[in-house]
Structure 1
Amino acid sequence: MKVNGVNIVEKETRYSELTEYELQQEIAQLKEKARKAEQLGMVNEFAVLERKALMAQAYLLNPEDFKPGEIYGIEGDPGVYFRIDYMNGVFAWGYRLGGSGQEEALPISMLNRKK
C-alpha cells in the first residue's frame, strides 16, 4: 500500500493470533461485507468473504472436539457427509462419503455432528 508515495507494509494478522472478541468482530465485518457483495451481485466476492468468515469461525472452535474416524455433515451441503482421517490445526482431513474418494481438508466450522 502506498501513502503519499511511500510504501507502507501492512502486517497481516493471522486468525490464530486474534482473541475470541477480535475473531467475533472480524466475522461480523466479513458477514456484513458479504451481505453487501451479495446485494450488489458480486458472486465471487461474496463466496470469498463467506469462506473467510468460515475460516475465522473455525478458530472459535476446539479442534479436540472433532475426532478421526467420526462422520460429520457438511455445512451448506445437505445430505453430504465427511469422514475425518486426521486433524491438522483447525482443519479436518478426510473424504466425502460417496464422493470421488479424493482426500480434502475442511475447516472444522464447516462440520456438523451427524444425527
Structure 2
Amino acid sequence: MFGSWFDHVKSWLNAEDKDRIMYISYEEMIMDLKDSVARIAQFLEKPLDTEVMEKIADRCLFKNMKQNKMSNYSTVPCEFMDQTKSEFLRKGIAGDWKNQLTVAEAEYFDAVYKDKMKDVKYKFVWD
C-alpha cells in the first residue's frame, strides 16, 4: 500500500528544483515553532506581521492540533485508520518512536537507516 520512506525522502532531496523546495522537520518545529512559521512564510514569499505568525504558531501547537478534527484525523473512517489502535497524533514528543521498539529493533533500525541514507548529504536534525 505504501512505498519506502527512504525512497520517498531521497527523491525529494535529489530533486532538480531544490530552490523551490523547503525542507523542515517536526523536530525543527518543536525547537522553535515561531521561527519555523516565519521561515515558511518567507519561503512562500508571503509577508506576515508578528500577530498573524503568532496565531498560526498557536494553532499549530501539538495540543491544539490534537483537539482539532481538521488535523487529528478523527473523522477518517476506521477502515483507513483505526484510531483505537493508534491515534494519528499521539504524544507530540520528538523521538518517542524509540520507546515503541525493543533494543534489538532500535539497533536494527539504526543499521538500516545508516545504510540507506549513507549517500545523502543533507543533515537532518536527528542525525
TM-score per shorter chain, which class? under 0.3
TM-score where L is the length of structure 2: 0.25
Greater RCO structure (CA 8 Å; 6+ sep): 2
Structure 1 or 2: more strand by fraction? 1
TM-score where L is the length of structure 1: 0.26
Structure 1 or 2: more helix by fraction? 2
